[in-house]
A and B are shown apart, each in its own frame.
Chain A
Amino acid sequence: DTEVTQTPKHLVMGMTNKKSLKCEQHMGHRAMYWYKQKAKKPPELMFVYSYEKLSINESVPSRFSPECPNSSLLNLHLHALQPEDSALYLCASSQGPPKYNEQFFGPGTRLTVL
């Protein structure tokens, strides 16, 4: 199984809603990532979890809250988002340290904030 799955595929939420994005992989990878991608732009790294511990936070606003319940799951909790947070949110995984190799991406969640 070489797949990273993400749910939901699409999400529309109001600025006062609370929602969560979910990501799952069963490749035995120990590093997982959240990226944000605006239209016609490259992905921007948000968070990295390595061995279920947060290792990189790219100064992301606190309205985005990541969680890694176990080595296969990664969540992104959303609260009080702004319309400019509308984007494609991509999850990825890799083998992690010490062997940093390619990252495998999921299909993404297209988020619209009204």
Chain B
Amino acid sequence: AQKITQTQPGMFVQEKEAVTLDCTYDTSDPSYGLFWYKQPSSGEMIFLIYQGSYDQQNATEGRYSLNFQKARKSANLVISASQLGDSAMYFCAMREGLRNTDKLIFGTGTRLQVFP
């Protein structure tokens, strides 16, 4: 079974609009962390935002926010005020068992294209 599911292979958004990228996860471990990374065409993976399973509030980093719904096992990324430079591949990732493993499990990614 997929541990991380990103159901949107591609998304389009107009510049200055907000966009939500979906991510659902599957784990029975009560301790886990959820990450979002951006990968432009140059190849580098850029860390965007992190949410721990015990965090009470949704994580925010500038224009990025994570809509964490624990009961639904979803961790959607919201990008506000999209910019042309946001066009990239976006990966959701999970680490299970926060203190006994250092393995990230990635979803298949969503390609976001921002148009003027």
Using CB atoms and an 8 Å cutoff, list the residues of chain A in contact with chain B. 31, 33, 41-43, 45, 48, 50, 55-56, 88, 90, 92, 94, 96-98, 100-108, 110
Contacts and interface: CB of A to CB of B under 8 A. Distances in A.
Contacts of B50: 101-102
B102 A90 contact: no
Interface residues of B, number: 22
Contacts, number: 54
Contact of B44 (A33, A50, A101, A107): A107
Given A41-B108, A42-B107, A42-B109, A100 B102 contact: yes
Interface of B: 33, 35, 37, 42-47, 50, 91, 95, 98-99, 101-104, 106-109
A88 B43 CA distance: 8
B108 to A, nearest CB: 6
B9 to A, nearest CB: 9
Contacts of A102: 35, 47, 50
Contacts of B106: 42-43
Given A55-B102, A94-B102, A104 B47 contact: yes
B67 to A, nearest CB: 19
Contacts of B91: 42-43
Nearest to B108: A42
